Structures are given as structure tokens and as C-alpha cells.
Structure 1
Amino acid sequence: MQREVDPDFARYVRARQHQLLRAAHLVCGERQLAERVLEGSLATVARRWERVREDADTAVRREVYRDAVSAARGVRDDVRGVLGELAPRERALLVLRYFEERSEAQVAEVVGGAVPDVTRSTRTAVARLHDLYPAQDVTELLDHASRHVVEVDLADRSWRAALARRRVRRRRAVSAVAGVAALGVVVAVAQGAGRGTTPTPSPTTPTTTTTAAMQKLPDGTVYAEMPLEGEENRLPDYDAGLPSVIDPEARAVRLSTLAAPPGSVVAVYLRRAGTHYRAVLVPKDHPQVVVDTLDLLPTRDAGGNEGVPLGPKAISPEGSYVVFAQPGAVVRLDLRSGAVDRYAVPAADLQVVGWGPGRTVVARTAREAWSLDLDQPSPRAERTAVPPEVVRGVALPVTELAGETVSAGRWAASGAYFDQDVTSPVIVRGNGPIYQGLVAVDAQARSGRVLLAPESPDGRTGRVKECCTVLSWADPSTVLFRSSGYDGSWVLAWNVETGRVYDVARLDEGGGVDYPRAIALAVGTRD
């Protein structure tokens, strides 16, 4: 991060800071607090500016509204402003929808949650506001209540705050390393004195002191719970062959500068580069590699909705190839030579590509599928049956699936949205709303179980929409999945037999906006 404020960042902030300050004031109810919230949110974005500048509006609003909602909980009742009778999250919904005039889909993207849930909550908030201010137009009311807020120049201040945070973080990291090193010396000496032999390494198998976590919902569905978003680092560790941190801010080399490609990887993720994506290769014990020789377009479904060109089954079983979905084509990257091959598929709306048996690749739209045998000299796309959705064949409180379904042996798992009428008893026990998580189905027993992803009980929605998606299976009963929220993005493991959840790898340091857009793993198994 450079010392002088980035000119693009300064221009961006100065063009929007007054509107954002007014919005933060409406949520917080107090001007000075709103100013502090906005400065802190902009400082968070400043540290990630190089990666979020292409979609800065979403990144900034997620930070501002998350921090404003959190700050509003500590404001006295007599200074909460025109929205003081509403819950902080309700205020955020109204400000986004009526003051900033965002669509319901855009509101859901900022605050998290499914669009229908956001729509219902917004209507409830509007009704409550009309009870307080009958016959008042919501937009006019919010505009009038924030007109007195004076613009403050926060570009330089937020950039300096970001630099200060970085210095503090580095000092803490150095202190932590020094402390661990000193402790290691003490432990080694003590062990050597006690046994007279070289200390043996600690086991790499997962360990935990928790008990089995499976319980039942009122409809009889077996379930387990994830920790609240932001508490993943308290989970026991699980060694799946990945580094403990896959850092999108870490040093990376360009593929075009290497004498030879990495050959094999343990993971691949996507990084946004303007209107395109770039793949980033994660070798086991070497720096990350940015594939600067290949620009990938976003995928688009038949309705024009944008998606990402990397699916969970993108890496070949032996880890030597990666495939990507592109409009009308499958693109294959050879990790041994760096060569890129393109194979035509008669569909402009391809959504996902993944490896099947052998060298077969399956490309799918929402309703159609094609297979390509890449062992052939000139592979041609052949229409094939869309794989049956195993998860949908079992009675579970699942309203919709999220991401790809990945199988291994008898089990298949997918991200899922839940019927909140069924999950409500868990909410009563102290969690916030539960509408997302995972579902796993035993194809032999025709039964299933779910992993619930509860929100924070204080009313702040911490997880992003489609927070949990399946990546692969570490073993026949332990599924590896991704969990993303405003406090960070993680690879976690869920043992579907015991219900226990483990920490595998962290994908970013938090903030909810800069984690890798998509990730595929070359560890574990999948059918």
C-alpha cells in the first residue's frame, strides 16, 4: 500500500462521501458517529483498493452499512434520529431502498440475505415508519432528515487511517512470531530434558474436545450447526493438504515470467481484473501464480445474470489441468506446459464446467449438458443427460440449492437455503436468522442431514448470500466447503456422520468484500 493517497481512491471518495455520510447518519442517528463509521469503512476499503476498485460501490456500501448498523446499537434513544424507533437493520434497509434508491437485489447484495427475505423485511419497516409518520413519503422523509449533514473530506483521512492500521497489524504479527518462537525454545528444552530424545512432531490428524453435534429439528431432520460468522478461528484444525492461509494479498508471480509452469496445484481461485477474471494458481509450497496469459469472461445465464467461470470440479483428478466455462466454449489450462486450449460448445450461456470420469469434461447450462472426451485428438461436444439432482430426492426443509452438488461414495452435498419455519426453534435458542447452510444426502439410505449457518443474534447479518458452497470431499464422510461472510472467507470441513465442523484454511482476513471470487480444490475426492 503506497504512502500517498491513491488519486483514483481520492476521486472516488470525494464524489460519494457526502451521500454516504448522510446515509450513515440516517442509520446511526448521530452525526459525529456517522463520520467515524464512514472514515473507518473507507479505511478498510483503502487497504484493498487495488482489488476492489472495479466494483468499489458494492465494497464500500457493504462496509459502511455493516459498520453503521453495528454502531447504531450503542446510540442513546434520544439521539437516534427519525428512524430511532426501528431496529438498526431495518433502518439500513430503508436507507438503501428509499434514500439511495437501490433495487431490492442490490439491497440484498449489500446487507446479505435472499431477495424475498429482504423484500419482506423492508415492507415491515415501511409499515412501522408509516405508523410513526402517517402520510409521509419515505424518500422525502429521509431526504429531509439528512439535509443538514455537512460534507466532510475523508479521502486523505481514511487513507492515513488504513496505513496506521497496517502498521499496527505488522507490529502485532512480529510480536506474535517472536512470542511463538520463544515458547517453542522453552518447550523444546523442557521436552528434551524430560525424555532425553528429540521431540516428536505433533500429529496432523484433526483433533477436538467437542462432543458429537447432531440434533433434530421439529420435522425430524438431523442437523448440526456452524459457529457464528467471524468465530471460525475457534474451530479445531483439519489437515486436508491445503496451506492454513490462502491469501489473495500474498506475493504472486506472473505465469508469463516463469521458466516452467507449476505442474500441479492444491487450489485455484479467481481474481477480478477489470471486466475479466484472472486465475490464480496455488502450488503446495511455492508462491502463488497469476495466469496473466488468459483473460476469462464472466459467465451469463439465459437471463443475463452474471456468474463466475470457475466451478468446484474444475481441477482434474491428478491436478494437471484446470477447465473454465466461457460463452460458447470450454477453456483448458495445462499446468505442465502453460498451454491454453479452447473447445467449442453450442451454448452461449454455459454456467459451469467440471471433470467427470477419466478425461471427460461436462459443461452445463441451467437445462442442458455436454460432454467432451479430452483424450481424443479433436474433442467434440456431445449432448448428454443432465445429471440427476440427488439432493432433491429426499424430504428435507430445503427451499433452494446453492452452488454445485459434489458426491463421493454414498454421500452427496450442496449449499442450501432452508425453510425458516422449520429452523425457527434453533433461532429461539439465541441465534439470529437461519436460512443458509449445507445439505448432505446419503444416496443409499435415502436420508439426509443439514448444517445450519446461523446469523448473529444481535440482528447484524454477517453471512453473504450463498455463503456456503461445497468444494470436495476430504474423505467419504467429511465434506470440504467454503463459508463466506463480512468477517472473512474460509474453507471448512463438516463430518456428516458426527456433525463436527473444522477449520481447514482461511481465504482472506475479513471485510467481506475482497475474498477470492471462486475457488476450486485439488485435494480430497469427488465422483
Structure 2
Amino acid sequence: MRDDELRRLLTAVAEDVRPSRPAATGWERARRVRRARRAAGAAAVAVALLTAGTAVALRPADPPPPAAATPGPTPSAPPVQRPPAELSYPGDPLGRLGDPVGAKLSARPVRQALALYQPVDPDTGAEGTIRVLGDDGFVRELDVVTPARTRDAHGNEAVPLKTGSLAPDGRTAAFAQTDEVVVVDLTTATARRFPLAGHLEHVLWSGDRLLVGDDDTTYEMDPRTGVSRKVPLSPWDVVVPDPGGRPDLLLELGGPPGGLMLHRVATDERGRGQDRVPVRTSGLLPEHRVDEFYGRGWLRGERLARAGWISVGNMSGLEGVAVLDARTGTVTQLLDLGRDVWKGCCEVLGWDGDGAVLLRRNPGGLLRWRPETGEVTGVTRDLYGAVSLAAR
């Protein structure tokens, strides 16, 4: 028998022999089982870790968090702007100005007036009675007083309602008359008259005081007492001040073509002048210039708006509205209204609370112009006559 056959025979016989030390053999077998289980567990953990690591490695990276939004540039309109060919009318409380009269002011006083309106027939020039548009959207007739037409020393007449007649808070109105000023409390429908010598035509509010003027003299008057004093300002060129601005500083803007000036005046007891700066149009397009101003100028913050006649290249006598920096006299924006309007069509009526300029356009009613964006929209159509607005 060969050795290998003998080894297999002995192994087979030994498989049926029970061990002489069963406890030791059991413990040894248990240790082998535990070692096997630990090895299997370690292998399983290794496989899990490897799988997870592989999955992490293979998973697409998370997208980076979105970058913080960078604000875009502030819309900037060109310095010279034009209204669109077709106006939109987005709706406005002032659109009720043309509504029929619903009551007399004496029977239904206002809490606050948004505007005063005196219609004028465009064909005959005949004016109607002054109307009061309240903040409730209701139109009243001003019946507690009937102001006469203003007239200058040469007999030239004009309707009594002026763009500066309505106080900024919409509670009081004032009317210049020959040798007197009429002040109406619109919340109580009562009127008071104060004597003041002169062919008075101009009236506007400076805070809680009135600036009243004839052809060449401007008075500052207390509308509660009638006490007045002269101030060295042109009644034609004095600017309606910002209701929230300095009460001790007034501006006038005007002058002949080629010599337009902005004049700042401190209104102390002597009314001493502060400074004069020339009006500059260097910020406009080269062919545009402002030749002369008309109507009333209006200040809001450091911006001043006033209508005028402009030139474009060799064409003069065009209508426009300019916005100036009230510190430097520089024209920063110009609304070019062209020729297809009436001469002196587009007097500025003030600023609204959103920084837009409100202005007349004859024919065409009232417009709102936002100089920063160039947007021009309609407020109300076919409104003929004089309008005075409260500050908004």
C-alpha cells in the first residue's frame, strides 16, 4: 500500500473518534466561529464603506448656491426726452376734474382739496365758475366768493385762478385781486379779505405764507393777519418752494434769452440776495437749448421744473419743460414738446409725491412726466382752463 493511500485510510478512521477533551475542542471551535464572524462583519463594513465612498465619489457634485442677485443699473433716460405719439391714461384721481359739479362748497365743504379748476371755453375765452375737487372725488362749485378777473396797470385781464392758488395741504385757497387778497378756507367754506395796494395778479404759497405780486413788486403776506412786507423777487419768476424745504430761502428763475439766471434769496428782514448762477444746458444734446421761461417754476428737493421756449438746431420757438439742479442752475432733463401744440401750452403745475412733473398740454389736457425714466402718461383729456393743484 502506498503512503498516500495509507494517509487517507487513517484520516477516514479518525473522523468517527470523539475528542478526548470536548470542552477545549468546543471553545476552540467557538473561537474559530467568532473569528469567522468578525472577519465577515469587518468585510461587510469594508464593503459598505467602499460602496458608500464609491457612491459619494461617483455622485455629481451639488450645484453651488445661487449667487446673490446683483442689482441692475438704475434706469437712466436720455437728457432730452419726448412724449409718445399715443398717450396712455392709467387712471388718476385728478381725472375727475372734468366731472360735472355735484354741489356747492357752502353746502358740502371739503376735508382736503386735490385741485381747483376754472373752465375756459377754447373758442370764446369765456370762463366758468371755479370748481373744487375734493379728496372724495366729488366736484363742488366755489360759491362763497366770486373772484374777479385780475388786471394789470395797462388793463390786460386774466382769469383769477392761478396755478399757485391752492395751498400745499389742500385746505386753503388764495386769490389776488386789485388792492386786496381773498383767502378761502375750503374746509369751512368761509372767506376773508385783506387789503393790499396794487394791481395784484400773482399769488402762490410759501409754507404757511403767501407771496403776492403786481407787475413788478412781490409781497410776503401772513394769510392769518394780513401783515405783509416786500421781498426783492420778480413776481413773474419767483419759484414755488418745496413745502418741506427751507422757509427762509426763495428762488427766482428767469431772464432774457442768452442771459437766463437762477437767483437764490435769503428772506430775512432785509431780504438780502445770496447768489446768482447762470442757467447751463451743457448736459443736454448739443443742438438743444432753453431760450426763455414762462409760467410758474416749482421746486421739489433740489430739482426745479419750469416750462419754456426751446431751440433745436436752427429751429426756435418750440415748447419744452426743463428740470434744473437748483444748486448749480444746470438743466439736467428736457421734455421736448415740439411745435404741434399751442404757444405757451405747457405750464408746469407742480410735482407729485412720486417725483413726477405735472403739466398742462393744450390741446390735450394734463400730463405726468417722470424725468428719471422718460415716461409720459396722460392724466385727463381735453381739460381747458386754469388748474391749481395741491402738493401730492
Coarse TM-score class (shorter-chain normalised)? 0.5 to 0.7
Q: 1:238 to 1:409 in 2, by over 3 A?
A: farther
Check conservation: 1:481, 1:493, Cα contact below 8 A: yes
Q: Does 1:395 align with 2:276?
A: no
One-letter code aligned to 1:282: L
The answer on 1:383 being equivalent to 2:230 is yes
Task: Kindly indicate which of the two structures has a greater share of residues assigned to strand.
Answer: 2
- Distance (whole Å) between structure 2 residues aligned to residue 266 and residue 303 of structure 1: 34
Deviation at 1:445, TM superposition (A): 4.2
Tell whether the 8 Å contact from 1:411 to 1:476 is kept in structure 2 after alignment.
no
* Cα distance in 1 for residues equivalent to 2:182 and 2:105: 17
AA paired with 1:465? K
Distance 1:365 1:310 in 2: 15
2:362 matched to 1:484?
yes
* Larger radius of gyration between Structure 1 and Structure 2: 2
Deviations 1:5-31, CA, capped at 9 Å, x for gaps: xxxxxxxxxxxxxxxxxxxxxxxxxxx
CA contact (8 A) 1:478 1:493 kept: yes
Equivalent position SS for 2:342: strand
Decide which of 304, 314, 336 is 1:412's aligned counterpart: 304
Superposition map of 1:261-300 within 5 A: 261-271=109-119, 278-300=129-151
Residue number in structure 1 paired with 2:345: 467
**Do the aligned partners of 1:309 and 1:352 also contact (CA within 8 Å) in 2?**
no
What displacement does 1:356 show?
A: 0.6
The residue aligned with 2:80 is 223
- Shift, 1:471, TM fit: 1.1
- The reply on whether 1:352 has 2:202 as its aligned counterpart is yes
Structure 1 residues 323-334: aligned runs within 5 Å:
323-334=174-185
Paired residue for 1:440? 323
What fraction of aligned residue pairs are identical, expressed as a percent?
25
TM-score (norm 1): 0.47
Q: How far apart in 1 are the matches of 2:84 and 2:317?
A: 12
Paired AA for residue 385 in structure 2: R
- CA 1:320/1:477 → structure 2, altered by over 3 Å: closer, same or farther? closer
Task: Tell me the CA shift for residue 412 of structure 1.
Answer: 0.7
Measured after TM superposition, the shift of residue 476 of structure 1 is 7.0
Asked if structure 2 preserves the Cα contact closer than 8 Å seen for 1:399 and 1:418, the reply is yes
Is 1:454 matched with 2:301?
no
Shift of residue 285, structure 1, vs aligned partner = 2.4
Partner of 2:154, secondary structure, is: coil
* 2:136 match: secondary structure: coil
Q: CA RMSD in A?
A: 2.7
1:444 and 1:477 map into 2 onto residues whose CA distance is 18
1:500 paired to 2:368:
no
Letter in 2 for 1:506: T
C-alpha displacement of 1:278: 2.1
Normalized per residue, which structure has more helix?
A: 1
1:436 maps to a residue whose letter is E
Q: Separation in 1 of the partners of 2:355 and 2:390?
A: 18
What amino acid maps onto 1:370 in structure 2?
Y
Contact 2:117/2:131, CA 8 A, preserved across alignment: yes
1:218-263 Cα deviation digits (max 9, x unpaired):
xxxx3111234xx33x36x375xx3434215x2432234x1x4123
Per-residue CA shift, 1:254-311, capped at 9, x if unaligned? 234x1x4123211111135997752100012243101123222121233332222222
* Deviation of 1:467 (Å): 1.1
Secondary structure of the residue aligned to 1:246 is: helix
Q: Which consecutive residues of structure 2, in runs of 5 or more, have no partner in the other structure?
A: 1-74, 239-250, 255-259, 262-278, 282-288
**What is the CA–CA distance in structure 2 between the aligned matches of 1:292 and 1:470, rounded to whole Å?**
27
TM-superposition CA deviations, 1:134-162 (whole Å, max 9, x none): xxxxxxxxxxxxxxxxxxxxxxxxxxxxx
- Looking at structure 1, the residues matched to 386 and 183 of structure 2 have their Cα atoms a distance apart, in angstroms, of 17
2:223 counterpart (348, 370, 374):
374
Q: How does 1:415-426 map to 2 (within 5 A)?
A: 415-421=307-313, 424=315
Aligned partner letter, 2:335: L
CA deviations on 1:75-129 (whole Å, 9 max, x unpaired) are xxxxxxxxxxxxxxxxxxxxxxxxxxxxxxxxxxxxxxxxxxxxxxxxxxxxxxx
- State the one-letter code of the partner of 1:502: T
Alignment partners' CA distance in 2, 1:306 and 1:290 = 23
Deviation at 1:379, TM superposition (A): 1.7
Q: Secondary structure at 2:153's aligned position in 1?
A: coil
- SS of 2:377 mapped into structure 1: strand
| DSSP-derived class of the 1:244 partner | helix
Deviation at 1:342, TM superposition (A): 1.1
Cα pair distance change 1:304/1:421, threshold 3 Å = farther
1:305 equivalent among 156, 164, 186: 156
CA contact (8 A) 2:83 2:376 kept: yes
Query: 1:283/1:421 Cα in 2 relative to 1: closer, same or farther (>3 Å)?
Result: same
Contact 1:418 1:434 in 2 (8 A): yes
Does the 8 Å CA contact 1:277/1:296 hold for their aligned counterparts? no
* Structure 1 match to 2:50: none
State the one-letter code of the partner of 2:170: G
Task: Please state how far the C-alpha of 1:409 moved relative to its aligned partner.
Answer: 0.7
Amino acid at match of 2:112: S
Q: What is the CA-CA distance between 1:406 and the residue it aligns to?
A: 0.8
Provide the TM-score with structure 2 as the length reference. Answer: 0.62
Matches within 5 A, 1:187-266: 213-214=77-78, 222-228=79-85, 231-232=86-87, 234=88, 237=90, 242-248=93-99, 250-256=100-106, 258=107, 260-266=108-114
Matched residue count: 269
- Output the CA distance in 2 between the equivalents of 1:212 and 1:502: 18
Task: Give CA deviations for 1:379-428 in whole Å, capped at 9, x if unaligned.
Answer: 22321221442363313422222210111110111111112545x5xxxx
Distance 2:252 2:365 in 1: 27
Correspondence for 1:517 among 360, 380, 385 = 385
In the alignment, residue 474 of structure 1 is paired with which amino acid?
A: D
Structure 1 residues 275 and 312: CA distance shift in structure 2, 3 A: closer
